[in-house]
Copies of this chain bind each other. A is one copy, B any other.
């Protein structure tokens, strides 16, 4: 079996490549060949350096929104399944430049689907996000929550991508798996609150400036848990679009993250300062509850809680 991982040199993508390369297809007792496409704009060669020389791994430094370049890869490699994780993952950056989401998040999805359609590839995994729901802090978000109103360009491009997957799946008799997940953390972080706090505290251990009021509270999932869920469900999907909220149990406030980072760094004198306001930045959803009933009922649960995921990730990134 050959898997194409689009965005495979990124944070989540490189962990997925790791796992796929170790994975044995049960029926066949064979390994999976992994083809990785990444433009290395957010991903890095470092993330894939430990397996780039393997025979079962092929890397293309290609912008996945370039539909012609991507089609050449599809034509040459003829993958059996596509994992599409290419996206802008730096939501703060695109708040000032929505065209980043148009190109890196939406257009990559359109290009991936167009290439699948042209070359007859039927199986897709897509990394979506809790940001598609918008700011509904009064509700527990489940897969049937109505009236999705994203407040970030990132959430909008991901919701648009889900809509594309729905239509392409129907029109071309594909099988697609969509996970909506919240913050993913673990080794190889390149941005986000844990990464920021460590960087700031290395610079000045006496003062930590926290965006917002520190009370923003979200569920965090450890990357190995997410990868486990991807592998658990992807090879079981049958027809049409299957969609799950995927996350860890519990949630963690930004203040608690700050405390964990300081504790793990052995800092006891750090003063916290706040920029103020409910959100870290405009377009950030400060608080949400995530219903995981559907994915739990389907037989999967995260190993680590949100707090445990945070503590582990801090250690891995120190």
A interface, CB within 8 angstroms of B: 95, 98-99, 102, 106, 110, 113-114, 117, 132, 134, 143-153, 155-157, 159-161, 163-164, 166-168, 170-171, 241, 282-283
Contact = CB atoms under 8 A, between A and B. Distances in A.
A170 B147 CA distance: 15
Contacts of A95: 171
Given A150-B166, A151-B171, A170-B151, A114 B143 contact: no
A86 B145 CA distance: 30
A95 to B, nearest CB: 7
Q: Which 8 A-B pairs have the closest CB atoms?
A: A160-B160, A156-B167, A146-B146, A159-B163, A156-B163, A151-B170, A144-B146, A149-B166
A34 B86 CA distance: 41
Nearest to A117: B98
21 contacts: A95-B171, A98-B110, A98-B167, A99-B114, A132-B163, A134-B166, A144-B146, A145-B146, A146-B146, A148-B166, A149-B241, A152-B167, A155-B163, A156-B168, A157-B164, A160-B160, A160-B164, A163-B163, A167-B283, A170-B283, A171-B282
A163 B153 CA distance: 9
